[in-house]
Amino acid sequence: MPDLNKKQSHGRIGEAAVTAKCWMNGVPAHNTNGLRANFAGSDIIIDTEDPRKKLLIQVKTGYSPAKGQIYLTQASGDKDLTEDKFKADFVVFVNIDKKIGESHNHRGTLDFEHFSYYVVPENEANRVFRDAVKRDYDRPLVKREGRRSLSNMAVNVAPEILSKYRDAWHLLRGEPLENA
C-alpha cells in the first residue's frame, strides 16, 4: 500500500465525512472527486429542489495548532488581506481533534466523533477568514521586527466567532440560521 500523505488524507476524509453528514441530515450531496476544473474549486455538489440549481460546497479540514481555536485553512499570501478566499456557496470547516489528528496512522482510529463541523455561508466565511488574517498580520513579531509572512500561515479563530454555524446543516436545505 502506498504511503499516505496525512494532510491530503485529512482533506479527503473531511470531504467524505461532510458528504455523509449531509445525507444524514437530509441533504443530497455528491463529491466532485477532484474534478475541480468543472466545479470552481468546490468539493461537494448539493442538490436543490430546482433540478437546474445546485449548491457548491468547499470543505476545509485540519486541526488548530493553537489550543481552543477553530482551524479555518492556510493563508496563501498578501492577497488574503483583500481578496475572497472562498468561491463556493458554503464552506464547511471540518476541525479534527488535535490529539487524534496528529497521531492517527490510517488504521481506523479517526472517526466521526473526532470531527466538529461549521457550515458557513460564503460571504461570512470570507469575512471571518479575512478578519483573522488581518488580526494575525497586524500582530507584531517579537523575535524579529517587521510583519508576518502570510504564506502558509495557519488561520484560526476563537470558537465563539463561528459557534452559531456549528452543525448548521439546515442552512444547506435553505432554512434560515434562526432555525437551529
Cα 150 versus chain centre, distance: 18
Q: What is the pLDDT of residue 107?
A: 65
Which grid cell sits at 177? Answer: 440560521
Position 144 scores a pLDDT of 61
What span, in angstroms and rounded, lies between the C-alpha atoms of 161 and 173? 23
What domains can be seen in the chain, in order of their start residue?
A: 6-166 (3.40.1350)
Rounded Cα distance between 36 and 128, Å, is: 24
Q: Is the pTM of this model over 0.85?
A: yes
Query: Quick one: pLDDT at residue 142?
Result: 72
pLDDT given for residue 173 in this prediction: 94
The pLDDT score that the predictor gives to residue 98 is 74
**CA–CA separation, 18 and 81 (whole Å):** 28
Which regions of the chain are under pLDDT 70?
1-8, 34-40, 100-109, 143-145, 179-180
pLDDT at 94: 96
Q: What is the pLDDT of residue 161?
A: 97
